[in-house]
Amino acid sequence: MTNASLIDFTLYLADSTLILGQRNGDWCGHGPVLEQDIAITNVTLDLIGQSRSFYQYAAQLIGNGCTEDQLAYWRNEREFKNALLCERPNGDWAQTILRQTFFSFYQRELFTQLLHGADTTLSAIAEKSLKEVRYHCRWSSEWVCRLGDGTQESHERMLAAVENLWPYVGELFVAAPYETALQIDTATLKSNWMDAITAVFTEATLPPPSLTSTFMHTGGKNGQHTEALGYLLAELQYVQRSYPGCEW
C-alpha cells in the first residue's frame, strides 16, 4: 500500500459522500411531507459529516498545509473521484430514495470491510459512520418498498428510477487501482450488496435487475464524470471561489 493510493482512496470516500450530500441537500424545504423533509436533511448532514472526516484525513496525508476546504472547494471536476451514481440528478422522490438505497447498502458493506482493515484512521471513521449508515439503509429501503408496493403510479415511478440509476451501480464494484492497492474486496462487496438489494426489491415487488445484462458507466473513480458534476460544483464552490479565504 502506497501513500498515494491511500490518499486517492480517502478522496474517493470523501468526494462520494460530499457530492451525494450536496444532491440530497436540494430537498431541504421541498420534501414530500415535513417528517421526510427533516429525515433526508439529517441523512444529508450525516453524509457531509462523513466527508469532512475523510477530507481531514486526506489533508493530513497530503501535508504541506493542505486543508479540508481546499480539497472540497478548490479542485475541478477531473480531480474529483466520486462514484457517478452520487452525482446523478435528484429527479423525483423515487429516484432520490433509490439512489440513497443503492449507495447506503454499498457503504454498509464497504465500511464493514474498513472496520477490520489495516488503516486505523479509516477504521475509526468507518466505525462511527456505520451507525449512521445502518439507519440510512433502513430508512431509504423502507421507502423503496412503500413506493414499489404502493399505487400503480408509485410502482411505475420506482421502475423508472431503476431504469435511470441501474447503469451507474456497476462502477461501485469495479476496483480502481488505488482500491486494488489497498486490497478492497470488491467481489465480496458486490455479492453482499446484490443479495441485500435483491431482498429489498423482492419486498417492493420490483423485478431484481442483473449486474451483467446492462451496460455500466464507469470513470468517476478516476475523474471522468458526467456533465451533471460540473453544474453541481459550480453551485457548491461558488462562494469560496468568489471570495477566496472568506470566513463567517
Taking the C-alpha atoms of residue 107 and residue 130, their distance in angstroms, rounded to an integer, is 8
Q: 106, 200 in Cβ contact below 8 A? A: no
pLDDT at position 152, please?
97
pLDDT at position 247, please?
75
pLDDT surpassing 60 at residue 77: yes
pLDDT digits (tens, 9 = 90+) for 233-243: 999 999 999 99
pLDDT at position 212, please?
83
Confidence tier at 27 by pLDDT (50, 70, 90): confident
Question: How confident is the model over 204-209, as a mean pLDDT?
Answer: 92
pLDDT surpassing 80 at residue 31: no
pLDDT surpassing 60 at residue 78: yes
pLDDT at position 15, please?
98
Q: Using a pLDDT cut of 90, give the percent of the chain over it.
A: 89
Confidence tier at 13 by pLDDT (50, 70, 90): very high
Confidence tier at 30 by pLDDT (50, 70, 90): confident
pLDDT digits (tens, 9 = 90+) for 126-142: 999 999 999 999 999 99
Q: Where are the beta strands (DSSP E) in the chain?
A: none
Taking the C-alpha atoms of residue 238 and residue 185, their distance in angstroms, rounded to an integer, is 37
Q: Which domains does the chain have, with CATH numbers?
A: 3-242 (1.20.1260.10)
- Using CA atoms, how far residue 28 sits from 21, 42, 125, in Å, is 11, 10, 26
3-state secondary structure 19-35: HHHHHHHCCCCCCCCHH
Residue 180 backbone zone (phi > 0: left; psi -120 to 50: alpha; other: beta) = alpha
pLDDT surpassing 60 at residue 92: yes
Question: How confident is the model over 5-34, as a mean pLDDT?
Answer: 92
Q: 112, 130 in Cβ contact below 8 A? A: yes
- Using CA atoms, how far residue 66 sits from 62, 183, 242, in Å, is 7, 27, 20
Cα–chain center distance at 106: 8
When the pLDDT of each residue in the chain is averaged and rounded to a whole number, the result is 95
Question: How confident is the model over 7-32, as a mean pLDDT?
Answer: 93
pLDDT surpassing 70 at residue 176: yes
pLDDT at position 248, please?
67
pLDDT at position 245, please?
81
pLDDT digits (tens, 9 = 90+) for 94-112: 999 999 999 999 999 999 9
